[in-house]
Structure formats: structure tokens, C-alpha cells
Amino acid sequence: MPDFFDISRHLTDEEKTIQKTVRSFVDARVLPTIGEHFEKGTFPTEIIPEIAKLGLLGCNLHGYGCAGVSEVAYGIAMQELERGDTGIRSFASVQGSLVMYPIWAFGSEAQKERYLPKMAKGEIIGCFGLTEPDWGSNPQGMITNAKDDGSHYVINGTKRWITNGNMAHVALVWAKLDGKVHGFLVPTDTNGFEARTIHRKMSLRASVTSELILEDVRVPKDAILPGVAGMKGPLSCLTSARFGIAWGVIGAAAACFDCAVDYAKHRVQFGGKPIASHQLVQAKFAEMLTQISSSQLMALEVARLKEEKKLRPQHVSMIKRHNVRMALETARVCRDILGGNGITLEYPIMRHLCNLETVSTYEGTHDVHTLILGQDVTGISAFE
């Protein structure tokens, strides 16, 4: 993991310990098998209890069995998990930021007590149902709706591209009730609820991606998140998750960079010299190191803003946009350095490259975050 500016000197002892611990876990339990899982299109469910035992599920939340670590520590954990694979980080991100966080922030005390301790232990897995087949970048257009039926709410609709969907015990489904968006905690064994695995993916293959079908799903009145109404609910969840993504992709970029540096030092061409000795290759490394370092500094600064309660969603839009683009470009250049070998699963680069194509799209595309920043600069919305 490159650390050109010795950023680790800013970390607390606890943050350094978390980095070392998660890095060792990824080296021992993720990297040896993740290529095979990617090739087969399977998620390594056997490591879920281990991830939970490390305290990584909802680790930046306080109370209810959660670790309550700093925002920097959370970011570092996501970075190390994604150094292994985006699918592993996505599992933890969805569980912690998209399901546990809204329960913690907007749920009733009974909901918090019921779900959070078991979710922190990995005994209950959650998924986040916002995106629909026809409504992605514009979630306000959602069709999924809930109707008050006396003692219950009745939910109908379809959600798509849902991470953890077929593993989940509970789905946080966002639906319109009387024209306003609300979150509903729906046990996945409820009648009328169906999760269908999305197959034939070329990206995020070591991750469970699903479509959720809800047909007259009846949930009791206490299933609704009482603390929020409107788009503030799902958008605040996305801000939390995007923060973790912006850290996570640094890990993917670092994995590609370290692999390419090692390869270039040993790959001999043109007169018996390693390709690392050539000017064009060194120029690529210099540029990638600069961009990775820039992303590390931005992520650290935004984490500190979050800890100081000074964070704005636009801060997260900037680092999600910048860092994902950086990671994707880094993976592409590293693949080029490895030549034909770069496309094989013997090396991690093509796997990360394919995954990052999805990360560039989900939780706000590059263009959407561009327009969010443009609106922040000008005060004019370009969305409508």
C-alpha cells in the first residue's frame, strides 16, 4: 500500500491496529480464494462470521453492540477490505452504512434493539432496496408504494441491483406512502417477498446481486422507520455509503499499483532489462502514485470533517467522484503494464478493473456527482 506522504503518522494507535488487523485478515482469508470466487460468481459466505468478529459491521456506529470506532478507522477498514475485493467491501458497506445506519439514525428503540446487535454479529444480514428497474439515478421517481391497511402496510413494487439480496434476512425497502418516501423493514420470509439472483454479471462477480419482488407484502405498522420521511432518509444512507466507497477504492487502486510495480521490476524485455527501467513505465508509476496520494489525502480530510460534524454531502460527492475515477484509471494503466498477463486471474488487476466499472456507476454515477458539485458552485440545478 503506497503511503508517499506518510499519512499513517496521522493515525491513532487504534486506527493503526485496525489497519494492520484487517490487512492481515484480507491477506490470509480473502486473497487466497477470491479469484476462484470471482470466476465462479460466488460470494465467500464463510468469512461473514469472521468479518463480524473483527467488529467491521457497522463499526462506526455507537452502542447496540457496534464497535464505535472513528470515521477514519471505518474508512481504513473499507480500504483494506476492497484491497481484497470490491464484493467484500460492498457486503460490509451495505450491511453497515445502508441498513444498520438508517436503523441507528431513524429507527425506533425497539427496532434498534431487535436488529443492530445481531447485525453487528453477522447473525442478521440486511439489504437496501432503493434502485428500481426504471429508476436509478433519479430515485424520486420510484414506483414502489405502500398503502395503509389498518394494522398493516401493504407494499408493492420491484427493486433491482440489490447487493446482499439473496443472503438477507431483512430488507430495508423504500416506498412511497401517500406520496412521501418512507423506509420499511421487511423480513425476507414475508409472504409475497421474493429475491431473485442476477446472474451473468461481468463485474462484482464475488458479490450477491439481486432483484426484489414485492407483491402485496404485508408488514406491521412497527416496520416503518419512524424518524424520517422523504428523500432525506435514503440520501443520507447513500452519503454514508459513498464515504466508505471513496476510501474503499483506494484499496483497489493500491492493490493494482503494488502488483504492477512488482511485475515491472521482474518482467524483462528489450536488452535484458526489467520494464521498470524504461521511462514510459516510470512515468506511469509517477502519475499513479500522485493520484493515489491525492485520493488518500482527500479521504482523510473528509473523514476529519465527518468527525467534526462539518461534513456536507457535496464533500462526499467530490471524493466519490474523484477517487473512483482515479482507481479506474489506475487499474487500466496497471493492466496495460502487465500486457496480456494483466487479463488473467493469476493477477488481481483485471478483477479490480471489472469491479470498478460497477463502482463508477452505483451510488451516484460520475456524471451525477459532477452535477451535484456544479450545483454547489453555481447554485443552479442542472438535473431538471
In a domain, 153, yes or no: yes
CATH number of domain containing 146: 2.40.110.10
Residues 262 and 246 in one domain: yes
Provide the annotated active-site residues.
363
The pLDDT value recorded for residue 373 is: 97
Q: Does 186 share its domain with 292?
A: no
Q: 206: which residues sit within 8 A by CB, 6+ positions away?
A: 34, 37, 38, 41, 42, 43, 44, 85, 87, 88
- Residue 97, pLDDT score: 96
Q: Based on the fold, state whether residues 250 and 365 are members of the same structural domain.
A: yes
pLDDT value of residue 141: 87
- pLDDT value of residue 137: 83
DSSP 172-212: EEEEEETTEEEEEEEETTSTTEEEEE----SSSTTS-EEEE
Report the distance separating Cα 336 and Cα 370, nearest Å.
28
Name the 3-class secondary structure at 384: coil
Q: Final residue of a domain: which of 70, 104, 120? A: 120
Residues of the chain with pLDDT under 50: none
Identify whether the C-beta of residue 122 lies closer than 8 Å to the C-beta of residue 70: no
Overall number of domains in the chain: 3
101 by Cβ neighbours in 10 Å (0-12 / 13-18 / 19+) ranks as buried
- Is 2 domain-assigned? no
Residue 130 lies in a domain: yes
Residue 240 sits in the same domain as residue 346: yes
- Whether residue 349 contacts residue 256, with contact meaning beta carbons closer than 8 Å, is answered with yes
* CATH number of the domain encompassing residue 90: 1.10.540.10
Q: What is the pLDDT of residue 384?
A: 74
Is 384 within a domain?
A: no
Is residue 159 domain-shared with residue 237, that is, in the same domain? no
* Residue 113 domain-assigned (yes or no): yes
Short-list 194, 178, 169, 268, CA closest to 229: 178
Domain annotation covers residue 172:
yes
CATH number at residue 363: 1.20.140.10
Q: Please give the pLDDT value at position 140.
A: 84
Cβ 203 vs Cβ 253: under 8 Å: no
Give the end of a domain, one of 120, 135, 161: 120
User: What is the predicted pLDDT for the residue at 26?
Assistant: 98
Whether residue 1 lies inside any domain: the answer is: no
CA-wise closest residue to 61 among 240, 204, 194: 240
Q: Which positions ≥6 away from 27 have C-beta within 8 Å?
A: none
Comparing CA positions, the residue from 248, 277, 326, 195 lying closest to residue 75 is 248
Are both 92 and 146 inside the same structural domain? Answer: no
Digit-coded pLDDT (tens) for 276-291: 999 999 999 999 999 9
- Asked if 273 and 373 sit in the same domain, the reply is yes
Distance in angstroms (rounded) separating the CA atoms of residues 323 and 78: 14
pLDDT reported for residue 339: 97
Q: Which of 188, 223, 258 is the last residue of a domain?
A: 223
Q: Are residues 70 and 130 in the same domain?
A: no
Range of the domain at 325: 232-378
Q: Indicate if 207 and 296 belong to the same structural domain.
A: no
Strand partners, 218: 154
Return the half-sphere exposure (C-beta side, CA atoms, 13 A cut-off) of residue 137: 13
Using DSSP, state whether 132 is helix, strand or coil: strand
Q: Are residues 361 and 272 in the same domain?
A: yes
Residues 81 and 20 in one domain: yes
- Residues 303 and 352 grouped into a single domain: yes
